[in-house]
Amino acid sequence: MDSIDLDVLKTCDAWLAAGRRCQLVTVIKTWGSSPRPIGATLGVCEDGSVVGSVSGGCIEDDLIARVRAGGVALARPEIVSYGISADEAHRFGLPCGGTIELAIEPLTQDSRIRELLDRLAAGELVERRVALSTGAVALNRAGAGALVQVEDGVLTTLHGPRWRLFIIGAGPLSRFLAQVASGMDYRVVVCDPREEYRSGWNLEGVELVHAMPDDLVIEARLDARSAVVALTHDPKLDDLALMEALKSDAFYVGAIGSRLNNEKRRERLKLFDLGEAQLARLHGPIGIYIGSKTPAEIAISIMAEMTAVKNGVPANLLVPHAAAPQPATSEACSILAA
């Protein structure tokens, strides 16, 4: 499963390959509240078909109506704004005070969408620069600090690489977590050397490997766009992988288990010469407290915590499982405490 914005690029590429005209709409600036973040995209085909989203729906309706009325008539990119007045904010369903600025770009074979997709598939972080006066496109490897912006008549957008999630263990919880993460544009790799757990695994778009977890973590060269989640309950599989992950630049490292089991895990990890600062990075019991009672709910809890960490949400605004009230007995406890 692709993320919304990757699906937009792939769909636009398919429209172009079929000889159909289309345009790419990108959120480039917002003021106040807005339904979609800067960089969000929407593809509009000449027949009014759409993929992606730049708002809650009303702005899409207006863009579709324009295309149906006049086709994809733009000769070069243009910048438009919605929600400047209170009347427009109400009409287009923007929150009170919300304003959104969009770049609308007519796409052609010279827009280099296929090349962009190829470079994203190779794991490259790409800066796409579009000259607003001519529509000419340049693709460059993005450097640190690159931003989505319009400056000096050039629209710059950033694409890829995908965030990566390495899941240790191929049990039922891993399946739900892999599905949710895939929908959020993570490249998901599930690692389990136990053949009995790998048997029958057939989740499309998720890579399943049988290497030892610590070997996989080392080979993956974890960076700040990587996360590792250990779900086997087996110290022989989880601990070494966690040790390597905690020494890396991974933005999130977590492990399932009760408070007691996680304290025991931390004591074991100290034997591998991990410092207090490294051990403090370990999330466990894993996830945000939402009263989770099933593998599907626990997967959502884990992804919620990962997303909060990725987005820099202050820890004092979250209630992790480690700080959650623990009922005496429940299905959730049996799943989390094992």
- Nearest to 55, CA basis, from 85, 33, 77, 78: 33
pTM for this entry: 0.66
pLDDT of residue 146: 74
Q: Which residues contact 172 (CB under 8 A, 6 or more apart)?
A: 295
pLDDT of residue 288: 92
Within the chain, all domains assigned CATH 3.40.50.720 are found at: 163-337
> pLDDT 10s digit of each residue in the chain, 338 long?
456 788 899 999 999 999 999 999 999 988 766 667 888 899 999 999 999 988 866 788 889 999 999 999 899 999 998 875 566 656 665 555 568 899 999 999 999 999 999 998 887 889 999 999 999 999 999 876 678 889 999 999 988 777 899 999 999 999 999 999 988 878 899 999 998 888 878 888 899 999 999 999 999 999 888 999 999 989 999 999 999 999 999 999 999 988 899 999 999 999 888 889 999 999 999 999 988 889 999 999 999 999 999 988 988 888 887 777 765 544 444 444 34
Three-state secondary-structure class, residue 213: helix
3-state class percentages of the chain: helix first, strand second, coil last, to nearest 5: 35, 25, 40
User: How far is residue 321 from each of residues 258, 288, 296, 303, 333, measured CA to CA in Å?
Assistant: 9, 5, 16, 13, 11
Residue 207 forms beta bridges with which residues? 189
- Nearest to 40, CA basis, from 157, 141, 181: 157
| CATH-assigned architecture of domain 163-337 | 3-Layer(aba) Sandwich (3.40)
pLDDT of residue 91: 63
Three-state secondary-structure class, residue 258: coil
> In the chain, what is the straight-line distance between the N-terminal and C-terminal CA atoms, in Å?
30
pLDDT of residue 219: 94
pLDDT of residue 236: 92
Could you tell me if 191 and 166 are in contact, meaning their C-beta atoms sit under 8 angstroms apart? yes
State whether the Cα torsion 133-137-141-147 is positive or negative: positive
Could you tell me if 186 and 213 are in contact, meaning their C-beta atoms sit under 8 angstroms apart? no
